[in-house]
């Protein structure tokens, strides 16, 4: 994938991914501002800002933003994560510059209307209440809070009701002033587009922002083995078990992809085959790995009838202990084939190329090619995966969070290693 990286005088990084045969374009702006950048009193402010930037600028009302994107034949979206916020649009190639102009206007000239703020505040509080109705979401959020109790990494991206209810327009503007600075932004343009027009637009908008104080150095929290119980009336009980994972940028990330697939990444995984197919204990069971700057988590999540908690927990711990002793050559080859296909096929759309490029620039400081991914996966060995499995699941560090019809703490202590 051919690309060009351009850095403006104020530090704004622009990634161009020209695809001449494409009739569409994906444009986006990544900002290194997420929930991990927030103080305790700012919990949820990054997410609140993401919502408010769609609610009008000094040049366009929120309705005009929506109608203009419709006229461009495109779609506009955004999301907030723990370490960044991404604003992006998909449109026809001929309208790429106009779509990027809307994004730049949203970031540079947000209106922050008080009435709109109150409406959006209620939308966010409703969104938070919706998460509280999901056993798996509750279990995972409580898990992170217990593993990293004194770190912003352990807090929910949406924040808490107390902070979200307190934000003023000035609070949001101040956060934007401190964090939405050009050296902490990456603009990505992929597909077909007017290169000269895009250059001129970005130089005259984001290119005129004043440089800030640079990227934030995160404190790296220690993994805290813990048991957290949340009694709630759910139809099923949910649990999350976590062990320390890999940090962003760790060269063993491809071994982790394969390991995750083997443990709980699909219908052929050990977790799915054992707990659902063989024993019928859990309707939902899977594993995931999340990498952050300096740290990471490998998590197993399951939802099941509350009367079989001991069986589910025992089986999961037994399964993880078994993986620590190694996986088979057949499992390794099957998982590697799936990961190769998923990574390469997943990068075939213009939108996927743009998303991948932005993430790489923000966290790797460089572009990773499809060829590099394939080469890394082809060079991976069974021994690489088994060494990682022994380290991850043999560390003795595990944390548990259960949400639903929970039992006494001693019940879970007796089932955890």
Q: Which of 208, 239, 261 is the last residue of a domain?
A: 208
Is residue 254 domain-shared with residue 346, that is, in the same domain? yes
Q: How far apart are CA 10 and CA 377, in angstroms?
A: 37
Separate counts of helices (H) and strands (E) for the chain:
16, 11
- Rounded to an integer, the average pLDDT of 127-156 is 96
pLDDT given for residue 191 in this prediction: 97
Residues spanned by the domain of 284: 227-413
- Examine residue 158 and state whether it is found in any structural domain, yes or no: yes
Instruction: Over range 138-159, report the average pLDDT.
Output: 97
289: in domain: yes
Ramachandran angles phi, psi of 28, nearest 5°:
-160, 160
Confidence at residue 200, expressed as pLDDT on a 0 to 100 scale = 98
Question: Chain-wide mean pLDDT for the chain?
Answer: 96
Determine whether 50 is an active site residue: yes
Residue 347 CB neighbours (<10 A) = 17
Sign of CA dihedral 325, 326, 328, 329: negative
* 200 and 236 share one domain: no
Indicate the pTM of the whole model.
0.95
Q: Identify the band that residue 132 occupies on the pLDDT scale cut at 50, 70 and 90.
A: very high
Contact 40, 156 (CB under 8 A): no
Contact assessment for residue 302 and residue 316, using Cβ atoms and an 8 Å cutoff: yes
Same domain? For 188 and 252 the reply is no
Domain ends where: 165, 180, 208? 208
Q: Residue 125's pLDDT is what?
A: 97
Tell me which of 417 and 202 has the higher pLDDT: 202
Label residue 215 by pLDDT band (50, 70, 90). confident
| Residue at which a domain ends, from 208, 243, 275 | 208
Give the CA radius of gyration of the chain. Answer: 23
* Banded pLDDT at 216 (limits 50, 70, 90): confident
Helix (H) or strand (E) holding 309: helix 309-324
* Sequence-distant (≥ 6) Cβ neighbours of residue 17 within 8 angstroms: 1, 2, 3, 188, 189, 190, 191, 353, 354, 357
Strand partners, 285: 302
DSSP secondary structure of 178-245 = HH--GGGEEEEEEES--HHHHHHHHHHTGGGSPP-S-PPPPP-PPP---EEEEE---SSEEEEEEEE-
**Is 30 among the domain residues?**
yes
Q: Which residue has the higher pLDDT, 27 or 346?
A: 27
Q: Is the dihedral of CA 190, 196, 197, 200 positive or negative?
A: positive
Rounded-to-integer distance, Cα 33 and Cα 47, Å? 10
Residue 119's pLDDT is what?
97
Is the pLDDT at 303 greater than 80? The verdict is yes
Answer whether 54's CB lies under 8 Å from 102's CB: no
Residues 262 and 338 in one domain: yes
**Residue-wise pLDDT tens digits, 154-210:** 999 999 999 999 999 999 999 999 999 999 999 999 999 999 999 999 999 999 999
Q: Are residues 254 and 372 in the same domain?
A: yes
Q: What confidence score (pLDDT) does residue 343 get? A: 87
Contact by Cβ (8 Å): 12, 206 = yes
Tell me the C-alpha distance between 15 and 28, whole Å. Answer: 10
Residue 380 has pLDDT above 60, yes or no: yes
220 within some domain: no
Is it the case that residue 270 has pLDDT exceeding 80? yes
Inside any domain, residue 214: no
Are 86 and 358 a contacting pair, CB within 8 Å?
Answer: yes
Residue pLDDT, tens place only, 70-100: 999 899 999 999 999 999 999 999 999 999 9
Residue 213 lies in a domain: no
Above 90 in pLDDT, residue 386? yes
Would you say residue 217 lies in a domain?
no
Average of per-residue pLDDT across 269-295: 97
Averaged pLDDT, 248-273: 96
Same domain, 202 and 232: no
| Same domain flag for 190 and 307 | no
Cβ atoms 248, 262 nearer than 8 A: no
Same domain, 133 and 238: no
Catalytic, out of 42, 50, 116, 315: 50
Judgement on whether residues 174 and 320 belong to the same structural domain of the protein: no
Q: Are residues 189 and 248 in the same domain?
A: no
Task: Please tell me the total count of domains within the chain.
Answer: 2
Please indicate, yes or no, whether residues 342 and 282 belong to a single structural domain of this protein.
yes
Three-state DSSP class for residue 34:
coil
Q: Are residues 199 and 300 in the same domain?
A: no
Is residue 69 domain-resident? yes
At 285, which helix (H) or strand (E)? strand 282-292
CATH number of the domain to which 137 belongs: 3.30.830.10
Q: Is the pLDDT of residue 1 over 70?
A: no
Q: State percent of the chain over pLDDT 90.
A: 93
């Amino acid at each position: 994938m051919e690309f060009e990286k351009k850095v403006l005088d104020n530090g704004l990084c622009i990634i161009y991914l020209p695809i001449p045969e494409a009739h569409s374009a994906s444009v986006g702006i990544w900002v290194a501002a997420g929930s991990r950048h927030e103080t305790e009193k700012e919990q949820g402010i990054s997410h609140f800002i993401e919502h408010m930037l769609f609610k009008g600028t000094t040049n366009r009302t929120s309705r005009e933003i929506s109608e203009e994107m419709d006229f461009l034949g495109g779609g506009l979206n955004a999301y907030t994560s723990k370490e960044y916020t991404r604003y992006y649009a998909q449109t026809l190639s001929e309208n790429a510059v106009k779509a990027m102009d809307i994004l730049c206007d949203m970031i540079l000239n947000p209106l922050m209307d008080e009435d709109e703020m109150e409406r959006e505040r209620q939308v966010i509080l409703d969104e938070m209440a919706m998460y509280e109705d999901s056993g798996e979401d509750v279990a995972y959020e409580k898990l992170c809070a217990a593993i990293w109790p004194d770190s912003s990494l352990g807090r929910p991206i949406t924040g808490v009701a107390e902070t979200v209810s307190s934000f003023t327009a000035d609070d949001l503007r101040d956060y934007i002033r401190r964090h939405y600075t050009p050296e902490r932004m990456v603009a990505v343009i992929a597909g077909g587009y007017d290169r000269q027009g895009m250059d001129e637009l970005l130089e005259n908008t984001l290119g005129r922002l004043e440089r800030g104080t640079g990227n934030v150095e995160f404190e790296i929290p220690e993994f805290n083995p813990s048991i957290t119980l949340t009694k709630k009336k759910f139809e099923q009980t949910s649990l999350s078990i976590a062990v320390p994972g890999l940090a962003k940028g760790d060269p063993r990330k491809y071994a982790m992809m394969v390991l995750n697939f083997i443990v709980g990444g699909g219908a052929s995984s050990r977790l799915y085959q054992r707990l659902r197919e063989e024993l019928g204990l859990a309707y939902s069971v899977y594993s995931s790995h999340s990498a952050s700057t300096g740290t990471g988590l490998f998590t197993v999540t399951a939802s099941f009838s509350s009367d079989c908690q001991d069986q589910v927990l025992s089986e999961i711990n037994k399964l993880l202990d078994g993986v620590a002793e190694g996986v088979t050559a057949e499992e390794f080859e099957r998982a590697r084939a799936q990961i190769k296909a998923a990574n390469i096929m997943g990068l075939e759309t213009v939108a996927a190329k743009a998303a991948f490029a932005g993430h790489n620039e923000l966290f790797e400081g460089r572009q990773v090619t499809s060829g590099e991914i394939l080469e890394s996966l082809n060079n991976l060995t069974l021994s690489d995966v088994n060494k990682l499995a022994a380290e991850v699941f043999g560390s003795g560090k595990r944390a548990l969070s259960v949400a639903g019809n929970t039992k006494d703490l001693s019940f879970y202590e007796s089932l955890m290693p």
